[in-house]
């Protein structure tokens, strides 16, 4: 089933619900039993009706089949669609136009010499497309022909997935994948539950629980399943992975359906022998296939600038043609009688009596003649270079290989390699990106009393910044540490909480932790061997804390939770207590809380609620102000220590109140229209008048090497912004711990938690709140900006930091304030945005990307980072604890934040320099080739006479100069990887775009003009007085072939001058290119062709003049380049050239063309890395799961010591020269 994972990735949308009518439930029910409802009302046309186990009834509707196709083409559309894609490129369309013009009488060149190079480029591109589509086709065949058991009569029968139809009853065995979207009917588990893994949808490896309706539990065997004749009325197919609205009508009873009864295609069955389900959606109508889409295509800044360069070449081409056209119109005159211009039948392009027509037709002639000025193989060469850089360099770098999780770096696209070398702004998530996302229960506050004596990394950092050392309490004898739990306080451990001032509140606290969750226990029912499968590591940590406090959750059924409670009535007493779970009000990003309604054995009804402090506090009952105030202060202390906080609360419910509310809840749950909104509204009715129990504090430690990485990137000129949903205090302290902010920085903080804003918010007038907030934010932005400008003017060396929270950011992003926010942010070295939503993350990224026109990079690890990742120029996903959502939406994937150092400073910088050289070299060599033809035009009366042989000119780009430039793009290296990281300031050359500015292009243009003049004039003038071995003067083809020889030698030697490193591949490519030329010209001139080229090469090589010219002309042509490079390096060196001189005597640490990796891995780790590089299909299905954020993972963070990089004070050039003189 690995083939399944190759389907195109998916991205969840929260919308997509179809309209339908509300089902009216009857009053006949029991609060703790399955609800029996009445006959469904007539449905709106927005829903679909499915008759289970009845193909004939479903055939009328003609539902789509279950066969899928992810191919881009078919046999009929491949050529037209493929060619359309290729000719969308301006260069290819240009050469198609030239090929068409070459068929006209005005063309001086043979059509075939234009068609062959274009055909070679198109063939290579179409072959690549065909190969990729063929792999998709084979993958589709494997999936469509996978076997599944379907009910046929009263027995199971094997059939292919593609043969399934809507309404079929299917059986899926353990570890098998669901072939379509199924309605879960029954399982081999007695309680009607099954466990599924959704890794192919959202990357989460933790198990989810699904529960069938009690009415269908018995349909396990084929005999019983054949009796099932239910009717499903549900929403139309949509792409919302985490919502489902529908009803099941069975035996004249209507039962509401929810996502808990739906098994989506692509998920797999775990820990269950088999399940039975009814097919609801098939093929391309399944939710995962409706989410199938590629990551948005991104074009690099270099590629967009390349388009401008191509446009500039078009302008140069038009100018050259215009000069030639005007010249031809002026030159033609009847006085040149020997041309036969007086002939009445003369062709229009030579008619001196109609000079305008002559000029216009000559433009077309010269366009075909000068067409090589646009390099036909440029795009193909760049694509090949980038692909090799991605697959062989980035993916194989051991410095970016995470041993613990066996995760290498992954370049998911090769289009943005050089963009990595120009990044100026990095936008980073905090949790799981800067931190490890391995949560540990660290402290808590119960009834206004703080428990937990540990000290976080943040607190230690604060102490160091303050100049004194905090005294950390000694570890107690009851201190315990395990996965998810790192708590030390004698007052709560081993039943000691019974002696606290408020033991009843402690008991409620522990029971809330043990009951209010969706955790699944696995393994033996003992505290030492049990394992918790949780939707998030926070939730697992809270349940682990309850276990260690003596409230051990060990078993779950669809309606009961079992907790082994210790020391409740008396010390040492242990009792297994069942709690009946009546309702679960699930967490989502809007509610920011989760609640359960449970019934004790004695009949007590309690609602337990946990969530963010902002939503819990506004739902608290009046009174207990002292506890509220004290707990709020504790929340601030926990946040300042970098801890993640949650508030816990409860409410006792009366039976009548619950019965009344539950009826409304059932109404909302069985609604086909706006079910989620109605459930949220009903939840608000009961989640009020809560009693605050306390709050929890969970520690999420920093990833290894993050501070050193951020410090290094800052030295490279990169500005780092942290965009997080955490509190202001937590975000600031994390920024301090990461060395993003220090005490030497001048800080500007814009927060909504001020007294005046709080006072306005307390009045509840939303219009007044919005007006006051906007005015306050505007004033604070202006004051901060003015102060920042004053600080920079008085002390240019000062560093600035800017902190803003989500509420203020919402108003700061208003069009009237956006410019002020942008100006202030651009002048700050570090920016922290806290309490921000996923949308705000994307908005901030776009603000810098579009407003400041700077190269941006976003990095994150969760589904809430997807929009930010896709909004930036470059998106980097961390394959961490929050599943693979961010990775599947990213351009590059790494396992740890610290790997950004290698990704940017090494690979990004190398790629940028190499691509710059490749593009400028292409521009240079093609312009030189064309200018020689242009100079020749002046000696031919602007007639359009070609100077080069057709085939020589056509193969110039495709064969004779194609390989050396590939070697330049793959192996050129100014400094080694370790030196690139030792001197991060070298990266600033990419931020400044030092190597691809217009002045660089103009410099290459001047060299091209000079060299073309030297080659043409030297050869044409000297050959006019030279003779061959037979005493004959050289003709046109002798001169042009000699000039072409000199040109090839010159441009290949010029390429070697551009290289920082000369390897055996450079020698082989340059030598091989010249050998290919001489092989071609020997064979070509040996064949009789009616072009005058016959025996030309043999005649030339029989003279000494040929060899003298072949040596002197390239030397004279390259003399200016050599002098310029020498003067530039000596008097105006680039930073990397200074570093080269500093380390000129240091030996290379690795083989040529490979990243400098000192392989210090053990044999076992090296084997794991090799295994990770094996070809395999990776899941591309992603989803934004509000109710299942997907934090769970089984990888521990990497251990070991990270050597911090040394700072580098850039040597001043004057002092550098002084040292050299000594």
What is the set of active-site residues?
Answer: 429
- Per-residue tokens: 363: 């433009």
- 978, 959, 1176: which is closest to 139 by C-alpha? 1176
The pairing of beta strand 480-482 with beta strand 830-834: unpaired
By CB atoms closer than 10 A (0-12, 13-18, 19+), residue 4 is buried
- Per-residue tokens: 844: 């901030």
- 847, 867, 859, 1048: which is closest to 959 by C-alpha? 1048
DSSP 588-599: -TTT-EEEEEEE
- Per-residue tokens: 640: 């300042």
Distance CA 407, CA 388 (A): 20
DSSP 907-942: IIHHHHHHHHHHHHHHHHHHHHHHHHHHHHHTTTTT
Helix (H, G, I), strand (E, B) or coil at 797: coil
- Per-residue tokens: 687: 């989640």
The beta strand positions in 612-751, using DSSP E, are 643-653, 691-702, 719-723, 746-750
Angle at CA 205, nearest 5°, toward 683 and 408? 135
> What does DSSP assign to residue 739?
T
Contact predicate 742/736, CB 8 Å: yes
Half-sphere exposure for 122 (CA within 13 Å, toward CB):
23
The beta strand positions in 954-994, using DSSP E, are none
User: What is the number of other CB atoms lying within 10 angstroms of the CB of residue 864?
Assistant: 24
- 1039, 348, 450, 973: which is closest to 694 by C-alpha? 450
The pairing of beta strand 800-805 with beta strand 746-750: parallel
Backbone angles phi and psi of 258, in degrees to 5: -135, 175
Distance CA 782, CA 795 (A): 20
Tokens 């242009």, located at residue: 934
Q: What DSSP element (H or E) covers 970?
A: helix 962-971
Contact predicate 341/943, CB 8 Å: no
What percentage of the chain's residues is helix, strand, coil (to nearest 5)?
45, 15, 35
- Per-residue tokens: 670: 């069985």
Contact predicate 60/126, CB 8 Å: no
List, in order, residues 6 or more apart from 885 with CB less than 8 Å away: 202, 203, 862, 863, 865, 866, 1182, 1183, 1184, 1190
Tokens 């990888």, located at residue: 1195
By CB atoms closer than 10 A (0-12, 13-18, 19+), residue 382 is buried
- 874, 873, 818: which is closest to 849 by C-alpha? 873
- Per-residue tokens: 252: 């004249």
Torsion of CA 311, 313, 317, 320, to 10 degrees: 120
b/e 527-540 (16+ beta carbons within 10 angstroms → b): eeebebbbbbbbbb
- Measured CA to CA in angstroms, residue 1165 lies from 1122, 1159, 1170, 1172 at distances of 48, 10, 9, 10
């Amino acid at each position: 089933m690995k083939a399944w994972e190759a389907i195109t990735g998916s991205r969840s949308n929260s919308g997509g619900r179809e309209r339908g009518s509300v089902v009216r439930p009857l009053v006949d029910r029991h609060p703790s039993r399955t609800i029996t409802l009445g006959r469904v009302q007539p449905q709106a046309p927005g829903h679909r009706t499915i008759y289970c186990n009845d193909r004939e009834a479903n055939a009328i509707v003609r539902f789509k089949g279950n066969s899928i196709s992810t191919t881009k083409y078919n046999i009929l559309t491949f050529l037209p669609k493929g060619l359309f894609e290729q000719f969308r490129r301006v260069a290819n369309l240009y050469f198609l136009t030239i090929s068409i013009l070459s068929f006209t009488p005005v063309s001086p060149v043979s059509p075939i010499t234009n068609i062959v190079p274009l055909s070679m480029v198109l063939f290579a591109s179409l072959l690549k497309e065909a190969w990729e589509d063929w792999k998709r086709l084979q993958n589709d065949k494997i999936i469509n022909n996978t076997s599944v058991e379907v009910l046929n009569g009263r027995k199971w029968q094997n059939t292919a997935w593609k043969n399934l139809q809507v309404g079929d009853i299917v059986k899926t065995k353990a570890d098998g994948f669901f072939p379509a979207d199924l309605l879960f009917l029954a399982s081999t588990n007695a309680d009607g539950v099954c466990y599924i893994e959704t890794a192919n949808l959202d990357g989460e490896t933790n198990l989810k629980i699904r529960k069938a309706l009690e009415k269908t539990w018995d349909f396990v065997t084929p005999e019983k399943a054949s009796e099932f004749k239910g009717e499903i009325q549900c929403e139309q197919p949509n792409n919302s992975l985490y919502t489902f609205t529908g009803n099941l009508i069975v035996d004249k009873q209507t039962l509401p359906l929810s996502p808990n009864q739906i098994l989506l295609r692509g998920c797999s069955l775990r820990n269950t022998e088999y399940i039975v389900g009814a097919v609801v959606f098939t093929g391309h109508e399944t939710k995962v296939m409706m989410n199938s889409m590629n990551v948005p295509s991104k074009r690099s800044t270099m590629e967009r600038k390349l388009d401008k360069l191509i446009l500039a070449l078009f302008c140069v081409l038009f100018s050259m043609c215009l000069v030639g056209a005007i010249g031809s119109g002026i030159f033609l005159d009847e006085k040149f009688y020997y041309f036969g211009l007086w002939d009445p039948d003369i062709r229009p392009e030579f008619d001196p009596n109609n000079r305008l027509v002559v000029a216009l037709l000559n433009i077309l002639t010269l366009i075909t003649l000068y067409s090589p000025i646009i390099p036909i193989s440029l795009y193909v060469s760049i694509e090949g270079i980038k692909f090799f850089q991605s697959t062989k360099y980035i993916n194989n770098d051991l410095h970016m290989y995470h041993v613990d999780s066996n995760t290498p770096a992954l370049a998911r696209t090769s289009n943005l390699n050089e963009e990595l070398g120009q990044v100026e702004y990095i936008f980073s998530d905090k949790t799981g990106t800067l931190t490890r996302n391995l949560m540990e229960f660290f402290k808590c506050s119960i009834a206004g009393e703080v428990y937990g004596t540990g000290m976080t990394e943040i607190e230690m950092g604060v102490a160091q910044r303050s100049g004194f050392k905090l005294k950390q309490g000694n570890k107690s004898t009851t201190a315990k540490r395990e996965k998810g739990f790192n708590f030390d306080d004698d007052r709560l451990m081993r039943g000691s909480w019974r002696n606290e001032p408020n033991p009843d509140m402690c008991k409620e606290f522990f029971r809330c932790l043990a009951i209010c969750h969706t955790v699944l226990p696995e393994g033996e029912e003992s505290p030492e061997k049990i394992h918790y499968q949780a939707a998030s590591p926070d939730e697992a940590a809270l349940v682990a804390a309850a276990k260690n406090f003596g409230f051990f959750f060990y078993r779950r059924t669809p309606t009961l939770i079992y907790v082994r409670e210790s020391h409740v009535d008396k010390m040492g007493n242990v009792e297994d207590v069942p709690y009946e779970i009546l309702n679960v009000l699930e967490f989502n990003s809007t509610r920011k809380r989760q609640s359960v309604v449970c019934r004790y054995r004695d009949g007590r009804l309690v609602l337990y609620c946990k969530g963010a402090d902002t939503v819990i506090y506004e739902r608290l009952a009046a009174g207990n102000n002292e506890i509220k105030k004290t707990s709020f202060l504790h929340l601030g202390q926990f946040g300042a220590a970098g801890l993640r906080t949650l508030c816990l609360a409860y409410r006792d419910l009366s039976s009548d109140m619950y019965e009344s509310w539950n009826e409304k809840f059932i109404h909302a749950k069985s609604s086909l229209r706006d079910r989620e909104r109605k459930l949220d509204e009903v939840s608000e009715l009961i989640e009020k008048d809560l009693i605050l129990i306390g709050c929890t504090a969970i520690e999420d430690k920093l990833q290894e090497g993050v501070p050193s990485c951020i410090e290094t990137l800052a030295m490279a000129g990169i500005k780092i912004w942290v965009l997080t949903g955490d509190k202001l205090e937590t975000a600031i302290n994390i920024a301090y711990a990461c060395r993003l902010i220090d005490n030497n920085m001048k800080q500007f903080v814009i927060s909504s938690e001020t007294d005046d804003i709080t006072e306005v918010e307390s009045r509840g007038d939303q219009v007044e709140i919005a007006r006051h907030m906007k005015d306050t934010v505007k004033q604070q932005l202006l004051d901060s900006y003015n102060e920042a400008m004053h600080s920079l003017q008085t002390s240019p060396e000062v560093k600035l930091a800017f902190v803003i929270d989500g509420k203020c950011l919402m108003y700061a992003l208003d069009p009237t304030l956006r410019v002020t926010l942008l100006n202030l942010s651009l002048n700050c070295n570090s920016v922290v945005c806290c309490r921000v939503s996923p949308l705000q993350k994307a908005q901030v990224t776009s603000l810098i990307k579009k407003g400041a026109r700077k190269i941006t990079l976003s990095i994150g690890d969760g589904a809430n980072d997807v929009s930010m990742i896709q909004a930036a120029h470059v998106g980097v996903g961390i394959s961490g604890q929050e599943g693979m959502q961010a990775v599947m939406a990213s351009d590059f994937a790494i396992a740890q934040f610290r790997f950004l150092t290698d990704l940017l400073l090494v690979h990004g910088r190398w790629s940028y320099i190499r691509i710059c050289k490749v593009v400028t070299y292409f521009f240079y060599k093609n312009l030189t080739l064309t200018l020689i033809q242009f100079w020749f035009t002046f000696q031919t009366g602007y007639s359009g006479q070609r100077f080069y042989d057709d085939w020589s000119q056509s193969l110039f780009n495709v064969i004779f100069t194609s390989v050396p430039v590939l070697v330049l793009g793959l192996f050129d290296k100014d400094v080694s990887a370790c030196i690139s990281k030792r001197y991060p300031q070298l990266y600033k050359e990419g931020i400044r775009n030092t190597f691809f500015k217009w002045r660089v292009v103009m410099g290459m243009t001047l060299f091209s003009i000079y060299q073309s003049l030297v080659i043409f004039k030297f050869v044409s003038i000297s050959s006019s007085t030279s003779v061959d071995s037979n005493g004959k003067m050289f003709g046109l083809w002798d001169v042009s072939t000699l000039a072409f020889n000199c040109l090839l030698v010159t441009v290949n030697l010029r390429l070697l001058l551009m290289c920082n490193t000369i390897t055996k591949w450079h020698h082989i490519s340059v030598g091989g290119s010249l050998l290919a030329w001489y092989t071609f010209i020997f064979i070509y001139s040996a064949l009789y062709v009616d072009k005058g080229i016959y025996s030309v090469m043999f005649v030339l090589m029989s003279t000494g003049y040929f060899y003298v010219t072949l040596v002197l002309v390239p030397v004279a042509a390259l003399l200016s380049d050599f002098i310029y490079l020498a003067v530039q390096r000596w008097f105006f060196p680039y930073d990397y050239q200074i570093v080269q001189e500093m380390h000129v005597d240091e030996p290379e640490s690795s083989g040529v063309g490979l990243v400098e990796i000192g392989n210090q891995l053990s044999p076992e780790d090296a084997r794991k890395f090799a295994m990770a590089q094996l070809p395999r299909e990776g899941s591309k299905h992603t989803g934004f799961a509000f109710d299942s954020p997907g934090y769970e993972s089984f990888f521990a963070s990497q251990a070991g010591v990270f050597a911090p990089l040394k700072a580098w004070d850039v040597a001043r050039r004057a002092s550098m020269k002084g040292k050299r003189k000594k």
